[in-house]
Amino acid sequence: MQQVHPRVLVSAYACGPGDEPEAAAGWAFARAAARSHQVHVITRHRFAPAVDAALARDPELARNLTVEYLDLSERLLARKRRSSDVYWYYVLWQRALARRAAELHEATPFDVGHHVTFANDWLPCGLARVRDLPVVWGPVGGATVVPLNLVRWLGLRGAANELLRGLLTAPLRAAWGDTAARRAAVVVAQNETVARRFRRAGHVVVEPNAALDDLSGHVVSTPARKAAADGSDPRPLRAVFVGRLLGLKGGRLAIEALARTPGWELHVYGDGYDRSTLVRLAERRGVTDRIVFHGHRPRAEVLDAVAGCDAMLFPSMHDQAGWAAAEASALGRPVICLPLGGVPLMAGVNARLAGVDGDVVGHLAERLAEAATTPGTPSDRWSTSRLPDVVERLYGIARSGSPAAEASPV
């Protein structure tokens, strides 16, 4: 007798193979679910070429994975011009998804619904509107804030952004996030802070959306630092900073820590509004000869840089997850970070935590100096190979529970 696999409906605003972390995570979760489930994914048309090509190359995957593409009207798409427009578009897209999901569920009921990517905990979950559908909500993130004593390291623009973010997202989290959490059979939090925020939900687990493929091709057998042929002092140890140059990423903290740590150089990969400020700060601290701003570079080049460094300096103040930290840990590089958000979790055994009380810069400098003699260990904690067991467990919990009788309004 042919085995009947449970049916899963996946909402993934971003989903497809490639270098975009959010889309790659959606694709990894969908593929993992398809190992032992019949999976129907709803995503957007922009991912169709990559997804259709991947399914054509893998007929076995295509037997268990169906992908449907949903977008709003051409008129609304034409108005989606700025990066910030993604938020109003996403809200409307979730409404359209809720209608389509309800149609599919009524025609042939699903066993589980899974809201996967772009799952901010202050934005709506369309699957939560579908009656009698047990929903796995997440991984979701967002409920993290910068400690007051670190606000000065954000800069004026960064502090204003954080204030505005808090004012806007708090009521939306209470309206949409808490509603989705109450409706969900399982809340999957990106980190412990988010888990605490939704602790009153029926079932909460912590599981970031990291989904790393094999990075062994980027591993180097020797550190970046090599002794000179004449036996003189080796060249500086190399730290890398990877991320958008925004206040919340902690670029100011990284440069200040570098200034207190002789024998190190810092390579910065990323761009953003804070770049000119960071360049001027490096000049004032007298470390321009020890810092290189590479700008935005291809992912493969960045991974090579991480593999060849001695440490990652990543003092982000509220990253929900932080894939860069997971990649550094997978490559066996220590990650100097703050005990905030999801970065320590992603760095795992290679996290080198700097305290946030007192002299924060001094704490970071100490951890960076220690990394010279305490190298990291390669970790496969966030490999895609873990995901089939993860989704099996999440869907099992969802199917064993009872979804709310009434659908939640978006």
Per residue in 90-113, pLDDT (tens digit) is 999 999 999 999 999 999 999 999
- Residue 311 is predicted with a pLDDT of 96
From CA 315, how far away is CA 195, in angstroms rounded?
22
Average pLDDT, the chain: 89
Q: Tell me how far apart the alpha carbons of residues 321 and 337 are, in angstroms, rounded to a whole number.
A: 12
Q: How far apart are CA 252 and CA 257, in angstroms?
A: 9
pLDDT at 222 over 80: no
Q: Are 63 and 30 in contact (CB under 8 A)?
A: no
Average pLDDT of span 158-169: 89
347-395 pLDDT, tens per residue?
A: 999 999 999 999 999 999 999 999 999 989 999 889 999 999 999 999 9
Q: Which residue has the tokens 């939090």?
A: 189
| Higher pLDDT among residues 227 and 156, named by residue | 156
Q: What residues contact 93, with CB distance under 8 A and at least 6 apart? A: 13, 44, 70, 71, 72, 126
Identify each DSSP E strand in 84-209 by its residue range: 112-115, 135-140, 186-189, 204-206
What does pTM read for this prediction?
Answer: 0.87
pLDDT digits (tens, 9 = 90+) for 109-129: 999 999 998 878 999 999 999
Question: Is pLDDT larger for residue 234 or for residue 192?
Answer: 192
Q: Are 364 and 353 in contact (CB under 8 A)?
A: no
Q: Residue 52 carries which side chain, given as an amino acid letter?
A: D
pLDDT reported for residue 364: 96
Residue 307 has pLDDT above 50, yes or no: yes
- pLDDT recorded at residue 344: 93
Q: Tell me: pLDDT of 397 over 70.
A: yes
Q: State how far the alpha carbon of 119 is from the alpha carbons of 103, 136, 139, 288, 317, in Å.
A: 22, 11, 7, 39, 20
d(CA 96, CA 409): 13
Percent of the chain at pLDDT exceeding 90: 72
CB distance 328 to 335 below 8 Å: yes
Beta strands 135-140; 291-295: pairing state: unpaired
SS3 278: helix
On whether the CB atoms of residues 137 and 225 are closer than 8 A, the answer is no
Closest CA to 287 of 246, 310, 312, 254: 254
CA distance 308 to 36: 38
